[in-house]
Chain A
């Protein structure tokens, strides 16, 4: 069926799967960025570094304490969220009255510090992280081989994203969050502790990034540089989707991952740049982003 394209179905579906996995990470990271931006009005440049810390945390747990993947999936996001909340309380909260650009600069500086420290300790090469025993192996679907772990990552990310969407759009807590995004002063006047909500939101967004890091650990190696280039792609994803809508961030993330995967099959030279090219086209046609509201 695919012979006329000169491409083996295994290659096509294999890349499609990798695209979906990358898309999962784009979705989880851009979701966190969007939630944080909504409430804090800050673009969190250290998101990639905290994603990397999430992966390293899982690796520490395994190599130093013998704590396995499943516990890491729970503990690592909590630990990194705690780090995030500490950052928010000690530094970011001084910037809320300033131009949002200062938040970008501060978190950029933090990303450099985190990345530099890990590079000092572990160099630039990656540390391997085994796939947990219960998720090894795979299914032969006839047209392709589907590794269990990769299927798990895509499924788990999709569930996480939808869960976040449900919480924000359909629960009482989410309604507070949305209200505080629109008008924090008014929500505060109604007796809701907005500063605490901001701290928890930052922790939640960062926790999502750490969770993505843990899931990425067995697929890519755990390396100090794993977050640096990813965050720039995620920025492009955020520009394409526009940060106004949670569902928009999720769909854009998965969609762009798939497009990137397909580009690897049909025109590999452009696979690094395809998302940036799409960003340029979207800027020309719909500057506010696919799901964004005009500023």
Chain B
């Protein structure tokens, strides 16, 4: 049965693959050239959030599960990575791996609880559990409470690449992002991904076809949490800081916004959305709480009039999935 689905899937892909390959080429070329024209730290922030949004989109766009608690994974991974690098003195690659594993584990626990309900309840449960993680991070010793973990050492990747220099760290971050992006792309276009889409479209039918829907949902949730953790850990190394803002519910809202602006359920949407939202925040940074108002207005405008998002509209224009 899975084989039939796979064959049908690849048949449909053959026509769209070229366009996605071109789009992928454009994206990679942009990020290769960009650091010579745009401030690399800004770009690294975009890349971290792009990976975060792509991981979030894997759930909402391809399984139809809206998680309102993804900040928990990003923030917790930042703390674990910071602790591993600073207190245990581990090299960056090990800190990243440990942090990713930690957020995968957290994803397993939260996922096991949250997939017991569907739809709107799923969103509320993930939000509430993430708030619990927030309070844990506020009170726990190793997170440094209000101060967070500061001055996290960047170190040398594999004892070779000095991450304290701007261009090397930029290309390491880019490589991490591309690894995550391609992993998600591969997942979406695998037989496993086809089952996920089947669950999104019609869950009772997927159950009646004999798929153990809960297993698929849980695996997707853990994968999404792990990659969100990778994004958070990378961000902690880049900014040498792990702080409470990354665990706060507003961060969960931000990643929803990025994905919504770029296009829910599109491959490239979250990347575009992350770029736009981070750029917007950079420009509005001096304006304080106007950022909140602007974000809110973008939310309202997107939901009311622009539900496909930028990439979603583009893909409708060329009639090919992007």
Contacts and interface: CB of A to CB of B under 8 A. Distances in A.
A94 B292 contact: no
B120 A104 contact: yes
A284 B113 contact: yes
A94 B249 CA distance: 27
A249 to B, nearest CB: 14
Interface in B121-171: 121, 123-125, 127-129, 131-132, 135-136, 138-139
The bracket for how many chain A residues form the interface is 35 or more
Contacts of A98: 307
B142 to A, nearest CB: 15
B256 A105 contact: yes
Contact of A43 (B117, B120, B292, B298): B120
Contacts of B120: 37, 43, 100-101, 104
A235 B124 contact: yes
Interface string A68-111: 00000000000000000000000100110010111011101111
Q: DSSP class of A's interface residues: helix, strand, loop or mixed? A: helix
Interface of B is mostly: helix
Nearest to B256: A105
Contacts of A100: 119-120
Given A101-B66, A232-B127, A273-B132, A283 B297 contact: no
A112 B131 CA distance: 17
Instruction: List the 10 closest A-B pairs by CB distance, nearest first.
Output: A109-B299, A112-B296, A116-B292, A113-B296, A116-B293, A276-B132, A119-B289, A236-B128, A287-B116, A235-B124
Interface of A: 37, 43, 91, 94-95, 98, 100-102, 104-106, 108-117, 119-120, 228-229, 232-233, 235-236, 238-239, 269, 272-273, 276-277, 279-280, 283-284, 287-288, 295
21 contacts: A37-B120, A101-B66, A101-B123, A105-B260, A106-B299, A106-B300, A112-B295, A112-B299, A116-B295, A119-B292, A120-B290, A232-B127, A232-B131, A236-B131, A238-B124, A239-B125, A269-B139, A276-B132, A283-B116, A284-B113, A284-B116
